Amino acid sequence: MRKYLLPFLFLFLFVFESIFVQYLPTEMFGSDRITVPRFLIISILFLTVFSSRKYGIIYGIIFGLLFDIVYTGVIGIYLFSFPIFAYLMSKLMRILQTNIVMVSLASLLLIVLLEIGVYEINVVINQTDLSFADFASLRLLPTVVLNSAFIIIASYPLKRHFEKFMASVSD
Amino acid sequence: MPQFFLNKRLIILLVSIIVLVALIGFSLREREKVTWPEQFLKDMTGFVQNALSGPTNYIAGFIENVQDLQNTYSENQELKPRLDKLASLEAEVQRLKKDNAELRDIVGKEDALSQYEPIQATVIGRNPDRYHENLIINRGENDGIQADMAVITANGLIGKVKNAQSFTSTVQLLSSMDPTNRISAAIQAEDNKKVFGLIEGYDKDKKLLMMTKIPYDAEVKEGQNVISSGLGGVFPEGLIIGKVVEVENAEYGLTQTAYLETGADLYDINHVMVAKITSMSAEIQEELQSTLEEEEEEE
């Protein structure tokens, strides 16, 4: 049962990100800061740690490709960054202890790196004219705040779910 | 160093970087239509988005209704005097419509650039990463939507259809950065004069639209309305785009640039209309086609 639930959980997160942005953009409250929900990649990072690297990379490729095609229209950016960050996470966890606090901090660090990476690619392909200082204050900081809130709320349920998923797969 | 090149992971990384560059180049190219696997995936996720956005729409609508109730009294006060004017306005509109039809009959020109058929659609998604300001709507080619059609809300123009699939379409907002996104527009200046220019780009710092190529001697003032001119042949005429906030001389002083505040809110969008032009008679289309071809030959 749990085995088949996993794709739907990720599909839900995938759609939830866009609904979140549509109904709660910070511009509605008169602020010019941009918060980007990164719930999907956070869950993929948790999946990498608490189930296996193989699953993390496969889900990274599938949902990265979906993200590119459905949302951005530029194929490649997320298709490559999602699995690469899943791989980095697994490498990082060999050095660090696998407890929930360390995993949360590591995924927050990777979110920062992902934001910077995606920004740099968009600068190179001339899709944004934001300066780095503006990017750091208007995008990066609010995004980190939003996503750390998500990590605090969702880290424990995600951990439980993925561990049980792993147990059911190995049965 | 044979060992260096035999490192499997390194090879995978290098190959994937090449593929990444190729894929980005492929998708940034100006494409008339997205490939069928992309269309298929977009439509499939469209179903899921549709299913999930239904209930969220309902809840959001309910909250909005409650908020509306709080302002009912003050709104009522404001609307009452306007209501009195409405009756006379309506009568005038009727008269003008009839006039217009009669005059058109006399001139022998039946179609106007301003005629369009609105297709109602609901927004079912928005790009979370916010570099590309894209919306996804729940109507597609099956409902008559095609690429490059104008997308409007009750308050004015918000963007154009970037590409259409069978059941969903992607809308590119005015605020997204795309150098190929140009709209022929007109400022409604004093004495019923029209000043033409191009909507070209979005100033991220000022959060205002930029209208360029305005003649240097045109007198443009703050607060004047800007509408689409219909001269591009893609958008219908007379769609509200926004109001002039600021005018300045462009580089070299040969033209002016106006900054516009959009009439429609580009963030709080739930329901949109796609303007399908109905007036493009075969005659006009042929004329446009021939002028385009002539221009190409000259080049």
Among partner residues B34, B126, B204, which is closest to A22 by beta-carbon distance? B126
Within a domain: A145 = yes
Does domain B116-177+268-278 match CATH 3.40.50.970? no
Share of chain B above pLDDT 90, in %: 6
How many domains does the structure of chain A reveal?
A: 1
Contact across the interface for A21 and B16, Cβ inside 8 Å: no
Residue A72 DSSP one-character state: I
Contact B114, B148 (CB under 8 A): no
When pLDDT is averaged across residues A91-98 and rounded to a whole number, the result is: 88
Q: Are B137 and B169 in contact (CB under 8 A)?
A: yes
Task: List, in order, residues 6 or more apart from B110 with CB less than 8 Å away.
Answer: B104, B281
Decide: B175 and A126 in contact? Cβ < 8 Å: no
Q: What is the mean pLDDT of residues A131-155?
A: 91
Residue in A14, A73, A121 closest to B132 by CB: A73
Considering only residues A32 and A104, tell me which one the structure prediction assigns the higher pLDDT: A104
What DSSP string runs through B125-172?
A: EE-TT-SS-EEEES--GGGT--TT-EEEETTEEEEEEEEE-SS-EEEE
For residue A147, pLDDT over 90 is answered with yes
Interface test with B, best of A19, A79, A82, A91 (most B CBs within 10 A): A19
pLDDT tens for each residue of A67-87: 999 998 888 899 999 999 999
Give the CATH H-level superfamily of domain B182-262: Rod shape-determining protein MreC, domain 2 (2.40.10.350)
On whether residue A22 sits in a domain, the answer given is: no
Inter-chain contact B128–A77, Cβ cutoff 8 Å?
A: no
Mutation for B interface: A10, A22, A57, A139, most B CBs within 10 A: A22
What is the C-alpha to C-alpha distance for residues B54 and B132, in angstroms, rounded to an integer?
24
- Token pair, residue A114, equals 């992902």
**CA–CA gap between residue A115 and residue A37 (Å, rounded):** 11
CB A147 within 8 A of CB A37: yes
pLDDT tops 90 at residue B31: no
ipTM of the complex: 0.86
Decide if A7 touches B, using CB distance below 8 A.
Answer: no
User: Is A28 an interface residue toward B (CB < 8 Å)?
Assistant: yes
Q: What is the pLDDT of residues A25-65, one digit of tens each?
A: 666 666 778 888 999 999 999 999 998 899 999 999 999 99
Span B210-258, pLDDT tens digits: 888 888 888 888 888 898 887 877 788 888 888 899 888 887 878 888 8
What range defines the domain where residue A151 resides?
A: 36-159
Mean pLDDT of B16-28: 88
Any domain includes A10:
no
Report whether pLDDT(A117) > 80: yes
Pull the structure tokens for residue B259.
């900054």
Nearest to B35 by CA among A167, A73, A139: A73
pLDDT at B26 over 90: no
